[in-house]
Amino acid sequence: MADGPDLRTNAITSYDGIFKSIHDPEIRKDFLKVRKLLSSGKWGVGKILLQDTLIKSSFKPFDRKCLTLILNELQRYEDNKISPNTAPARMIAWDTVVERDLTRIIERFCEFPQSVFFLDVGRSGLSSSRRLVGRKILSDYWIAGKIPELHCSLVTADMLLGLYCDERITENEVHVHYYPLNNAEKLKLFSDIMAGDSSYVEIICPFPLLRESDSKELCSPAEGWEVDDAYDVMLSCGEERLKQYTIQFLETIDMTTGRFYDPACSTGMFLSTLKEAFPESYTIGQDLSQQMADFSKERVDEVYCGNAMLPKILTGTADACFIRFLNSEVVTSAEAEVLLSALLPTVREKGFIVIFGHTPVLLSSSNFRRLSNFRLIQSVGVSTDKTGIFQYYIIQRDI
């Protein structure tokens, strides 16, 4: 699979969240052609075929809804992508920005509210701190045909909209008002983040994804997920930048022989990557799904099947606990806080809890600052290829 995963996989079928699949076999066949055209750079042809496929789906309401959302995301990508020839502004005149006409983004709670984010820059409470508004666009990994999720963890300058002004929540929608930034200003802001101290930068995704049928927060099945080999590869592709950054972080703190615990280890690829980078480390995995735990046995030193609410390792024995599931479309916001509390005791004194994920983290720095005996180290990571930033919370036990 050197050229990436086979797009024919249909291991998980969903019309909610950032994963999109098609039920009807003939429509799915056309959609896979669209994916291949986009991944080979034939954007215009792919978009036309998607429009034609949408017409074919007239009598398939679920598929039509899915294709409509994807077509809208293609258009958003075209509208927001910044040309590589654009130069960053020399400065951002914020007094001028707030004189611009207010703009509003509206997102339905059953579509992509979790892809609307706030970007906080600067220490909270200081006059220099600012809150920006953004909306994720198509992931470069999705366009390349590597993952089935439309959006991923990476936040780039293209996704910024402007300076936050206000927000309103209705029964079905979220409305956020902002003063728009131009593309040169967006590039300048991101250039400053990349070049400067990112310890006072945070990406917050405050709006949960709700099922249209009952307005309840979307989450994974109670028994966990099941995957096939192709989807296993896709899961790994989606975390590529996160894995690279994690290796860099562990090297920075000189923890190459640590005990690494992942309480929702999925197929074990994340821990396997750490083991490959640090052969003297010891990896411990646990997952709610028996199938996932079985996948992990060949990749992880020690594996358990069980709910993360009941960690299988001894209290205070992990050097680092990597929590990759307190995320949108995996657990609910209420569950996220409870699960975090259950996992805090797993790390030793001066040990680290690291929280991130392919979908938005449901907690924010405020949750971590309230914890006793832990201190917040950082809230974002900068991708090693310098293409963007992502949520990456690190907290360290004091005693």
100-122 pLDDT, tens per residue? 999 999 999 999 999 999 999 98
* Residue 209 in tokens: 């994804």
| pLDDT value, residue 251 | 97
CA angle 164–167–103, rounded 5-degree value: 55
* Sign (positive or negative) of CA dihedral 233, 235, 241, 247: negative
Cα Rg of the chain (Å, integer): 21
The answer as to whether 104 is a domain residue is: yes
User: Is 90 exceeded by the pLDDT of residue 226?
Assistant: no
H or E element that contains 318:
strand 318-323
74-78, 195-199, 222-226, 298-302: lowest mean pLDDT where?
222-226
**Cβ pair 278, 301 in contact under 8 A:** no
Mean predicted confidence (pLDDT) in 123-139: 85
Distances (CA, A) of 319 to 53, 237, 242, 307, 351: 51, 26, 19, 21, 5
Average pLDDT, the chain: 91
User: 306-351 pLDDT, tens per residue?
Assistant: 999 999 999 999 999 999 999 999 999 999 999 999 999 999 999 9
Using the Cα atoms of residue 79, residue 81, residue 85 and residue 90 in order, give the sign of their dihedral. positive
Q: Is there a domain that residue 347 lies in?
A: yes
Q: Are residues 191 and 264 in the same domain?
A: no
What average pLDDT score do residues 213-235 get? 72
Are residues 378 and 264 part of one domain?
A: yes
Pair 74, 113 in one domain: no
pLDDT at 363 exceeding the cut of 80 = yes
Query: Has residue 355 been placed in a domain?
Result: yes
Co-location of 269 and 379 in the same domain: yes
Short-list 111, 110, 119, 39, CA closest to 76? 111
Quote the pLDDT of residue 5. Answer: 38
Cα–Cα dist 341/316, whole Å: 14
- Choosing from 170, 189, 204, the residue where a domain stops is 204
Domain housing 55:
25-80
Tell me the whole-structure pTM to 2 decimals.
Answer: 0.92
Domain contains 313 = yes
Q: Is the dihedral of CA 356, 73, 194, 203 positive or negative?
A: negative
Same domain, 252 and 349: yes
Positive or negative torsion for Cα 13, 38, 17, 342: positive
Domain contains 66: yes
**Same-domain status, 176 and 263:** no
Residues 249, 390 share a domain = yes
Same domain, 158 and 187: yes
Strand 374-382 vs strand 389-397: parallel, antiparallel, or unpaired?
antiparallel
Residue 1 lies in a domain: no
Would you state the pLDDT for residue 8?
Answer: 38
Domain termination site, one of 204, 221, 249 = 204
- CA-nearest of 378, 90, 343, 367 to 248 is 378
Would you state the pLDDT for residue 213? 87
Q: Is the pLDDT of residue 19 over 60?
A: yes
- Cβ neighbours, 10 Å, residue 1: 10
Is the per-residue pLDDT at 164 higher than 60?
yes
17, part of any domain: no
Residues 130 and 171 occupy one common structural domain: yes
In the three-class reduction of DSSP (H, G, I as helix; E, B as strand; rest coil), residue 287 is classed as: strand
Within a domain: 298: yes
